[in-house]
Amino acid sequence: MKKHIFTLAACLILTAALVPAASAADLFPDLALQGKISPEHREYLGAPEGDIKISDIGADFAFVEVLSMYCPICQHDAPGVNDMFARTQASDKADRVRFVGIAAGNTPFEVAFYRKKFDVQFPLFEDPEYVAHKALNNVGTPAYYLVDLRDGKRTILIFHEGEIKDKGAFLKTVLDTMEK
Amino acid sequence: MRRTLLAAFAACCLLAVAAYADDMTPYPVGHLKPTDSTLKVKVGDTAPDFTLPEINGGTVSLSDYRGKKNVVLSFVPAAWTPVCSDQWPGYNLALDMIHALDAELIGISVDNTPTQAQWAEAMHGLNFPVLSDFWPHGKVADSFGVLRGDGMAERAVIIIDKAGIIRYVDVHDINSRPDLGVMIGELEKLAE
């Protein structure tokens, strides 16, 4: 019996490690967002005082970027992501979506450095022990999600892993998806 | 059964690290013994000098920086491996901060120069000297006591001041990345 339990445990561990990253229609885990954020960012998220989870975000949608300060593509994409944020803020969807960054494997120092280096205006959260990253099946970075928060299920509407070659087209898809 | 569990654990470790350029596929090495060497230097010692080839041509000597700049030596185990491919791009991003603290970052691995050059290119370029400790194999790493029994270097950060004195040593768990903030904090102490 003990042998079977060990076998089952090993299979579960392997399965968890090999499960592909989330895709559209999957549910986004209700991640705890770690790290201090400014009062302005807390207001932006519409989140209550104290610890914040994805489900606490007070908007219809969350646009989540999983990044790392150490990831060359994330570094390369950072200005473009900032531009997507600015264009969203200037659009008629500004009140419906909140941008969030989760920095896989990054310490508070590394997150602060990345924020300052690229002048990131939306909230970035740290994930030094890869807790959130593991909950997302060790997705490659950068990864981008549009999550529907309206139904309480956190349904993933859009998932993209790796560099976004055409950010304008991608943002249009994101904004159009919110219309549906 | 134990082997099955170890294999499962190793698979988890391999997949726990992400964040490298999407046009490269690092070679998985699994979970390694955290450290596997005996230091031959300590804080307060004069750093052993060396001269090594650099990927852009020519050579770099530690003594080139004597009296001019502090030096951060970043030894990494091997090119094209997951954590190493994740570490130097971050340091590259932070070069302005390192230079502002009157320091130069020098990367060293035991790989040969062509391998290092292709690897650096796959990481979208590195703007600090990348030196090859390939031949005599690992001689410089060994002079610091950071050459592992398997021929790779440890993942080590060694900070040397302008006088050539070792001021900080971190032989890090080879499976994880040293916190950039710790390195910067040590450089700030030198700047005080």
- Whose tokens are 């042998």? That residue is A3
Q: Output the pLDDT for position A17.
A: 39
Distance from CA of residue B55 to its chain's centroid?
15
Cα–Cα distance, A70 to A117 (Å, whole number): 12
With contacts defined as CB-CB under 8 Å, which chain A residues touch B21? 71-73
Question: Looking at the partner chain, which of B5, B16, B90 has a beta carbon nearest the beta carbon of A70?
Answer: B90
Asked whether the beta carbons of B125 and B91 are under 8 A apart, the reply is no
Whether residue A16 has pLDDT greater than 70: no
β-pairing verdict for B103-109 and B130-132: parallel
* Distance (Å) of CA A99 to CA A39, A60, A88, B113: 16, 12, 9, 42
Strand partners, B177: none
Report pLDDT digits (tens) over B71-80: 999 999 999 8
Instruction: Enter the tokens of residue A141.
Output: 């970075």
Asked whether the beta carbons of B104 and B127 are under 8 A apart, the reply is no
Instruction: Enter the tokens of residue A91.
Output: 């659009």
Asked whether the beta carbons of A54 and A30 are under 8 A apart, the reply is yes
Confidence of residue A14 (pLDDT cuts 50, 70, 90): very low
Residue among A70, A118, A131, A137 with most chain B CBs within 10 A, to mutate: A70
Q: Is A18's CB within 8 Å of B20's CB?
A: no
Report pLDDT digits (tens) over B143-165: 999 999 999 999 999 999 999 99
Question: Looking at the partner chain, which of A18, A75, A141 has a beta carbon nearest the beta carbon of B93?
Answer: A75
Q: Is the ipTM of this complex over 0.90?
A: no
Cα–Cα distance, B8 to B6 (Å, whole number): 5
**CB contact set of A39 (below 8 Å; sequence gap of 6+):** none
Give me the mean pLDDT over the B82-102 stretch: 92
Question: Looking at the partner chain, which of B4, B17, B93 has a beta carbon nearest the beta carbon of A117?
Answer: B93
Based on its alpha-carbon atoms, the radius of gyration of chain A, rounded to whole angstroms, reads 17
Give me the mean pLDDT over the A64-68 stretch: 97
Asked whether the beta carbons of A138 and A68 are under 8 A apart, the reply is no
Backbone angles phi, psi at B124, to 5 degrees: 70, 25
Give me the mean pLDDT over the B17-21 stretch: 48
User: Which residues of chain B form beta strands (DSSP E)?
Assistant: 51-53, 59-61, 70-75, 103-109, 130-132, 155-160, 166-172
Asked whether the beta carbons of B169 and B43 are under 8 A apart, the reply is yes
Residue among B2, B22, B172, B177 with most chain A CBs within 10 A, to mutate: B22
Candidates B52, B76, B78, B84; catalytic one: B84
Using a cut of 0.90, tell me whether the model's pTM lies above it.
no
Interface check B8 vs A, CB under 8 A: yes
How far does A47 lie from chain B, in Å, by closest CA?
A: 29
Report pLDDT digits (tens) over A38-63: 999 999 999 988 899 999 999 999 99
Q: Is A13's CB within 8 Å of B94's CB?
A: no
